[in-house]
Amino acid sequence: MRRNQEFVICEAAGEYILIPTGNTALRFHHLIILNKAEAFLWQLLKTDQTEESLLRNVMRTYEVDEGTARKDIADFIERLKDGPIIGEDEYVLYRRK
């Protein structure tokens, strides 16, 4: 999975916000607020990632136990899977467009 390139991340008023742009903005009509750790995950998703690779990166950067990190990553993916995060298949289709 990787991030949808049509979402722009911006830091405003101490929060990270994901703003839909381009064609995505025509079907996705709200902002997503991320915390610092989620913003870090978002940066990682610039390249293709699996849950395991995200977990490894989080464990390397943050002092957190594996169970908590795994749960947070799963929640993050669940929250963003309807637009901001896309699977590899969708990414290929997106590139073809």
Partner 1 sequence: MCCIEENKKRDFERLYEQEQWKKLKMLLTENAEEVSCLLTPGELRQMMETSGRPQNEDGPMYYYLWGLAQIRSDDRVCFRETMRMINTRYRFMPAGKEKHDWIEVYLNLLYENPECSILDWVDTAEKYVSIVGRIRLYSMAGNRPGICFGIKEMSALFLKDKWGGGYYTACWRRIFGAVERRLFKMAEIEYRLETNGEETVEGELNEIFMSVDRKNGTADEWLGCAGIIFKLQRNGRHRGEYEAIMHSVIEFLTAKGYSLALKNIRAAVRVMQGVTGEKESLIKWLEYLRVERSLQNEWVDTTNLYIKFMQARGYLNVMQYERARICFKSTAAYSELIGQTWLCVGSLFGQAAAVWEQGETQEAVKLSAQALTMGIQYKYTGIFTEYGQTGVRLIEAYRKMTGLDDNLSMAGRRKKYYYGNVMTASYEGYHSILLRKARKEMRYGQSQEEKDQVRTALTMTEVLILQYIANGYSNKEIGEKMNIRLTTVKTHVYSIYRKLDVSSRVMAINRAKALNIL
The pattern of x and - marking residues 69 through 88 that bind partner 1 according to CB under 8 A reads: --------------------
Residue count, binding to partner 1 (CB under 8 A): 17
Nearer to partner 1 (CB atom), residue 31 or residue 59: 31
The pattern of x and - marking residues 18 through 57 that bind partner 1 according to CB under 8 A reads: -xxxxx-xx--xxx--------------------------
Under 8 Å CB-to-CB from 15, ≥6 apart: which residues? 33, 34, 35
Three-class SS state of 53: helix
Under 8 Å CB-to-CB from 74, ≥6 apart: which residues? 51
Contact 76, 69 (CB under 8 A): no
Using CB under 8 A, list all residues that contact partner 1.
8, 10, 12-15, 17, 19-23, 25-26, 29-31
